[in-house]
Amino acid sequence: MDATSSLRIEGVSKSYLQRSTLIAVLDSISFNLETATWTTILGPSGCGKTTLLKIIAGLEFPDTGRVFVEARELSRLGETAYLPQDDTLLPWRTALGNAILASEIDGKPIADAKREALDLFDQFGLSGFESLYPSELSGGMRQRLALIRTFLTHRDILLLDEPLGALDPLTRATLQNWLLNVWSELKKTVLLVTHDAEEALLLSDRILVLTDRPAQLQLDQAVELDRPRDRGSSELVSHKSQLLRLLLEEEVGT
Ligand SMILES: Nc1ncnc2c1ncn2[C@@H]1O[C@H](COP(=O)(O)OP(=O)(O)OP(=O)(O)O)[C@@H](O)[C@H]1O
Ligand SMILES: [Mg+2]
């Protein structure tokens, strides 16, 4: 693993037993992530994207293959920050209480954690909502809060499983901009899962496309468009239609 890589996945395969039938989910997936880059995974529904993120997060074990974080083989939970596909905010904690959870668990001084969180609340447009509970926030605000909490884990590698799913297009576009700004400032290594080819092209340095289950790496492509990117630019639109064609072929199994 060279000095600029922060994550290496080596020949990861995984099957699950479902009603006494073994189903193959991941088939020999390998890739490296360069430090401080943004990589996005696209693939058909049910192909194994969440399973892959869980393996990298240390929540599931591969049947074969290995995961290396900063050149060391993954040995414990919490080496990366994982934002699961479902909303996992704690309903009995305020927005600020949710945001500083990881710092509290790590034993950081609460005053420092709060100061840091308030700065991100500001950047993500959530100032003034610190004392509200998750049930009092809109869907887009909850997504932002979950992202803030993930950034505040102070891990260098962020695993984001469809963090902008189920949002209206305008909120989604605003959140994409916020995310890009915070990412370029904090220099994290991001691995994002999305169903949205346009989102992948707007945000990423690199796109990985998985095949239908059992997932193999079908495409590993650098996105060489200058930032800030324009979703209406002819280059982006043409890349998008190529990606959609590939994904559609996978969905219908041709
Ligand atoms: N704990 C489990 N036990 C048994 N089967 C599982 C388990 N977790 C996932 N699977 C199966 O593995 C396959 C991949 O699931 P996974 O959640 O990784 O897909 P995904 O690509 O994230 O899908 P989506 O795009 O819909 O989120 C599915 O067929 C699912 O039924
Ligand atoms: Mg999933």
pLDDT, mean of residues 160-169: 88
CATH numbers and ranges of domains, the chain: 5-80+155-252 (3.40.50.300), 88-154 (no CATH)
Residue 17 CA: which ligand 1 atom is closest? 4
pLDDT in tens, 17-42: 999 999 999 999 999 999 999 999 99
Instruction: Give the phi and the psi of residue 31 in degrees, each rounded to 5.
Output: -170, 165
Ion ligand 2: residues, Cβ under 5 Å: 49-50, 85
Contact residues of ligand 1, CB 6 A cut-off: 16, 18, 25, 43, 45-51, 85, 213
Q: For residue 161, give the ligand nearest its CA.
A: 2
**Spatial CA neighbour of 229 closest among 254, 201, 193, 205:** 201
CA atoms within 13 A on the CB side of 244: 10
User: What's the confidence (pLDDT) of residue 244?
Assistant: 94
* pLDDT tens digits, one per residue of 82-124: 999 887 899 999 999 999 999 998 899 999 999 999 999 998 8
- The residue among 74, 71, 73, 35 whose CA lies nearest residue 54 is 74
CA of 46 to the centre of ligand 2 (A): 7
Q: Which helix (H) or strand (E) holds 157?
A: strand 157-161
The predicted model gives 167-196 an average pLDDT of 91
Q: Give the per-residue pLDDT at 13.
A: 98
* Ligand nearest to the Cα of 52, by number: 1
pTM: 0.94
Residue 11 and residue 28 in contact, taking contact as beta carbons nearer than 8 Å: yes
State in Å: Cα 127 to ligand 1 middle. Answer: 36
SS3 of the chain: helix, strand, coil, percent, to 5: 35, 25, 35
Tell whether the model's pLDDT for residue 128 goes beyond 70.
Answer: yes
If we measure between CA atoms, which residue out of 48, 85, 49, 41 comes closest to residue 243?
Answer: 41
Does the pLDDT value for residue 53 go beyond 60? yes
pLDDT tier for residue 9 given thresholds of 50, 70 and 90? very high
